[in-house]
Chains A and B, each alone.
Chain A
Amino acid sequence: MSAYREGEGYGNVPLPTTPQRDVIHAGEQPNAGEFDSLASVLRLIIGSMLMGGDELRSRLRQWEESPPHASPPAPQETSSDTLRYALIGLLMEARWRMSQSITAAENFSGRMAQWYAGSLAPLLKATPARPLLVRIDALLDQGRSAIGGWVKSGQSEEWRSRLLAQQAVDSILTEAIDRLAHSPEIRELLAQQGTSIAESTVDEVREHTVSADDWVERVVRGLLRRPESYQPSRPLNEVNVIQGQE
């Protein structure tokens, strides 16, 4: 029994010629000079999904790792609470069981494949089955080659998609910030806010100094044993009139 050799097949039985497929390899484009809007949109969608997925995963990990701030609720609960807890528990249990089942199914299918391969090996090695085996190998080769091409292309496309999505996000952010910075409404709002903060700070300082004026005066008068003064107030419009004259 001759061993299978790649490109040669078994023994002296020639391999059937496989039709050449147009596999797009990494970095290659059918028409590199032309802009393909559909491909770009597709890349943008893929890149956004990948970036979003990464971000979501990272956030979820952070949230899960952060220590819980609140303790579990007290045992006093209504029937609706109980039902809700039961549903949540069921959901989590179902997820766990499903993952267990998938693992078990994978193991089982692996074992079954091994068993079948062991059982069918003598039959397949028989001479009459050789042409069939050769054809299957050729198909497998063709499939492997196609998958290899997709993997290579996918690697390159993933990188390009991420780059495109990153560029899109950066560009949109920069443009949005630029627009906000140059928007007269926003600038006016910021200026107003800044002015109002400054005004309120100055007002607060003034209020405090008025209190300090009285306090210091009271202390000094106490030390000198002078009676507290009565300060005759003056009409404010006297000051305002003067201001109006300017």
Chain B
Amino acid sequence: MVQTSYAGFVSRGIAFITDLAIMSIAVLIVIALANSVTGFFTLYGLLSPGSTGSAIVAGAISLLSVGFVITYPVGFWVLFGQTPGKYIMGLRIVSVDGAPLTVRQAIRRYIGYWISAIPLFLGYLWVLVDDRRQGWHDKFARTYVLYERETRPHHAPAR
């Protein structure tokens, strides 16, 4: 049977950075567009700087950005089992039983991201020492990250 194995820290790190770059660019575009729109209305005196209307627009933009940053990974995990960054690196996230991620699992994994980051990213570094290369967020959401292609385990059994 063709075998694959758990994805390691470097591959996952590169995928994560790629996703961050994509998200940052997208958020920047949204902010730039929103600024153009508010600038247009400010010009016509509808939104004066420092007014309640401007504060509402700024809040809406922030909410939109936060919403995008949450829905981007969760949506991709549930719909495709991988984000664009993981697709480029040839990685896929599955449940421990091999099934695709549910929305609940994806949200748990996303919350797990923040939990893993709080103690100086120790949760992410856990991938380096875990036998199944799981970070804290993986353990929290009961998921694995696998290579999408045939790989062999490189380490001999420690006996």
- A residues apposed to B, CB below 8 Å: 202, 205-206, 209-210, 212-214, 216-217, 220-221, 224, 226-239, 241-243, 245-246
Chain B residue numbers with a CB within 8 Å of A246 are 79-81
Q: Is B148 a contact partner of A239 (Cβ separation < 8 A)? A: yes
B: number of interface residues (CB 8 Å): 43
In angstroms, Cα B14 to Cα A209, docked, is: 9
Q: Is B131 a contact partner of A217 (Cβ separation < 8 A)? A: no
Chain B residue numbers with a CB within 8 Å of A217 are 8-9, 128, 133
Provide the B31-54 mask, 1 if CB < 8 A to any CB of A, else 0. 000000000000000000000000
Q: Report the nearest B residue to A209, measured CB to CB.
A: B11
With beta carbons under 8 angstroms apart, the residue of B3, B131, B133 that contacts A236 is B3
Task: Please give the distance in Å from B102's CB to the nearest CB on chain A.
Answer: 13
In angstroms, Cα B156 to Cα A241, docked, is: 28
Q: Is A230 a contact partner of B92 (Cβ separation < 8 A)? A: no
With beta carbons under 8 angstroms apart, the residue of B14, B79, B94 that contacts A239 is B94
Task: Please give the distance in Å from B37's CB to the nearest CB on chain A.
Answer: 36
Chain B residue numbers with a CB within 8 Å of A226 are 129
Q: Is A221 a contact partner of B129 (Cβ separation < 8 A)? A: yes
Interface hub of B2, B128, B153 (most chain A Cβ within 10 A): B128
Chain A residue numbers with a CB within 8 Å of B99 are 242
Chain A residue numbers with a CB within 8 Å of B132 are 231-232
In angstroms, Cα B86 to Cα A202, docked, is: 12
Q: Report the nearest A residue to B14, measured CB to CB.
A: A209
- Chain A interface mostly: helix
Scan residues 140-154 of chain B and give those whose CB is less than 8 A from a CB of chain A.
Answer: 144, 146-154
Chain A residue numbers with a CB within 8 Å of B149 are 206, 236
Interface hub of A205, A229, A245 (most chain B Cβ within 10 A): A229
For the complex of A and B, the 10 pairs showing the least CB-CB separation, nearest first, are: A213-B8, A233-B3, A227-B158, A212-B10, A230-B157, A238-B98, A236-B2, A209-B11, A236-B4, A220-B128
With beta carbons under 8 angstroms apart, the residue of B80, B89, B157 that contacts A206 is B89
Chain A residue numbers with a CB within 8 Å of B106 are none
Interface hub of A202, A217, A224 (most chain B Cβ within 10 A): A217
In angstroms, Cα B97 to Cα A235, docked, is: 12
